[in-house]
Amino acid sequence: MQTTLRGVGVSHGVAIGEVRHMGTAVLEPPAKQIPAEEAEREQGRARQAVEAVAADLVARGNLAGGEAQHVLEAQAMMAQDPELMADVDRRIAVGSTAERGVYDAFASYRALLAGAGEYLAGRVADLDDVRNRIVARLLGVPMPGVPDSDEPYVLIARDLAPADTALLDPTLVLGFVTEEGGPTSHSAILARALGVPAVVALPGAGELAEGTVIAVDGSTGEIFVEPSAEKRAEMESSAAARKAALSASTGPGATSDGHKVPLLANVGGPGDVPAALEAGAEGVGLFRTEFLFLDDSKQAPSEEKQIAAYRAVLEAFPEGRVVVRVLDAGADKPLDFLTPADEPNPALGVRGLRSLLDHPDVLRTQLTSLSKAAEGLPVHLEVMAPMVADRADAKAFADACRAAGLHTKFGAMVEIPSAALRARSVLQEVEFLSLGTNDLAQYTFAADRQVGAVSRLQDPWQPALLDLVAMSADAARAEGKSCGVCGEAASDPLLACVLTGLGVTSLSMGAASIPYVRSTLAKHTLAQCERAASAARAADSAEEARVAAQAVLSGE
């Protein structure tokens, strides 16, 4: 008998297949004591296992490329964290085996993160995965991970570690469902990059029996257990129609009555450029530059290295617009040379632009590198700062850009509610705004973007979040300047229409989402988008806002 479950849809598409569960985590190693004379040998075993796991993560990242590579490289750095390794050595010195020392040291660090309010819940999941891989290697047992199957299946997991998600084979993994995570978790971001239908934050997903046939709708978040023949046919027909519509939709983004809405790509480095070009991106709306800095948390990359990486992306979009976000470090992206190690709540501390203003040499080198990388190219380079709180922040960034010799547009990301509330003031110092809806939702609702339990508050359809978007867009219009969206909200085709109706002037998203958004925008007039936006803002919940907008756009 068909039953329906609902989670959070995070990656478009339909998947129908049998359930396969993620491999179980490594069992806790026994707590046995070793003689003192064996301590040095055990410490060596632990270090070898850590280095092997770190090398494996880097190798997986090199194979995956793009966003996945940056995530996996950060995870490799986590495995080699010197404080963690020092703790492992101390535990072995007093009698623990290598595997037990690793297990207990990671458990201690995990408890510290959880005690800090679980802001770093996404990093906790990554930490668990690193621990399991190291312990598995020391015990000589198979790594936990994706099941071995010759037939296509739908993957079910409590959560997916980046190392597993990055190398999923789309020809075998039709889609995946997780119990935890949210719309901006690593799993969700990588699913969209892979183009694999995915649903996260589905309580009880792990209780679905192995071999059960389910149908996954990555757009609505619905899971149909043992779907009827009629339901399967309906979903397959809908998926085929959507694919045909995507193929037919080409060219610049625009509404059906010709209102232009440039569709840009979010990229994390040169490896993401081919997919963006293939999807028909009109430029880059968010070039994350963290990938360069995560290679070595001890020091900033040289000017020469930065110039080469930036130029590789800029050259790919001649005459196009490329918006570069300067380094956004801190919180879940700590760097030893830049961010404080002892902040009680990194989310509310020195991160983003605050870190750069505290280290003007790092900011100056990055801005100078960008200026030199753009020399002689016809590309429209624009530079923006993350985590701008007020006009003073915006002025400090604009002054730094001018001092570095940048002759381009300077912008501010709206990720803090204060920047939206005082957007006209911020725009006295910069020439454009870019809404980072992921962090804006996090700070508006006091809801960690990595914690599945509060995922409803991370839903970009929340009317309060739409109010802040409208406020920012209205301010930009009044000042004769632009206001784009580069957060995950832009990847939702229906919400893209609402954002257009709110006055947003460009939309930037993962490359895989661009055809869906282009196709949907082309079906509706600007007036319809404006009416849908008004209906969504008048609602009292995210679900009501989504339903209200859908009713307007479908002509109901």
Report, as residue numbers or ranges, the catalytic residues.
Answer: 186, 486
- Burial class of residue 523 (count of CB atoms within 10 Å of its CB; 0-12, 13-18, 19+): middle
Asked if 351 and 359 touch (Cβ cutoff 8 Å), the reply is: no
482-485 vs 198-200, strand pairing mode: unpaired
Quote the CA–CA distance of 110 and 461 in Å, as a whole number: 32
> Strand, coil or helix: what is 196?
coil
Widest CA span in the chain: 79
Give residues with Cβ within 8 angstroms of 74, minimum separation 6.
Answer: 126, 294, 333
Buried b (16+ CB within 10 A) or exposed e, 174-207: bbbbbbbbbbbbbbbbbbbbbbbbbbbbbeebee
Alpha helices in 404-541 (DSSP H): 417-421, 423-426, 437-445, 463-478, 493-502, 514-521, 526-537
CA torsion 262-237-165-295 (nearest 10°) is -20
Classify the C-alpha dihedral 197-520-533-409 as positive or negative.
positive
Sheet hosting strand 222-225, strand order edge to edge: 3-6, 222-225, 213-217, 14-21, 153-157, 173-178, 198-200, 8-11
Buried b (16+ CB within 10 A) or exposed e, 455-491: bbbbbbbbbebbebbbbbbebbeebebbbbbbbbbbb
Alpha helices in 140-288 (DSSP H): 162-165, 186-194, 229-248, 273-278
Residue 539 DSSP one-character state: S
Give residues with Cβ within 8 angstroms of 138, minimum separation 6.
Answer: 29, 45, 46, 49, 98, 99, 102
Asked if 493 and 220 touch (Cβ cutoff 8 Å), the reply is: no
Our measurement of the distance from residue 36's CA atom to the centroid of its chain's CA atoms, rounded to an integer in Å, reads 46
Beta bridge partners of 18: 213
